[in-house]
Amino acid sequence: MYLTKETKEEVFKDHSRAKTNTDTGSAEAQIALFSHRITHLTSHMQSNKKDYSTQQGLLRLVGKRRKLLNYLLHKDVERYRAVLADLKLRK
């Protein structure tokens, strides 16, 4: 599988609020994990254009990430801006 335990721990360590690899519940960590998965699925979709089930899963992940970003925007604007800058996302 493309997402091993070590990869997840590295993503959580780099992008979570508490900066530990066990903080899996913070919005920042979840957004980072979704972004990692979205990047992987996007590269898959570039080579497999007719894989509609993956396309549906990709759109669902983008929607989940958008909802978490909206939550973070309303909860704490500074954390929202930090996530956008850290993950190089654009609004």
CA gap 59, 17 in Å, rounded: 26
pLDDT for residue 19: 72
pTM, rounded to two decimals: 0.89
Assigned CATH topology for domain 5-87: Helix Hairpins (1.10.287)
- The residues of the chain scoring below 70 in pLDDT are 1
Q: Is 63 exposed, middle or buried (0-12, 13-18, 19+ CB in 10 A)?
A: exposed
pLDDT for residue 21: 76
Domain edges within the chain: 5-87
CA gap 37, 61 in Å, rounded: 8
51 phi, psi to nearest 5 deg: -85, 85
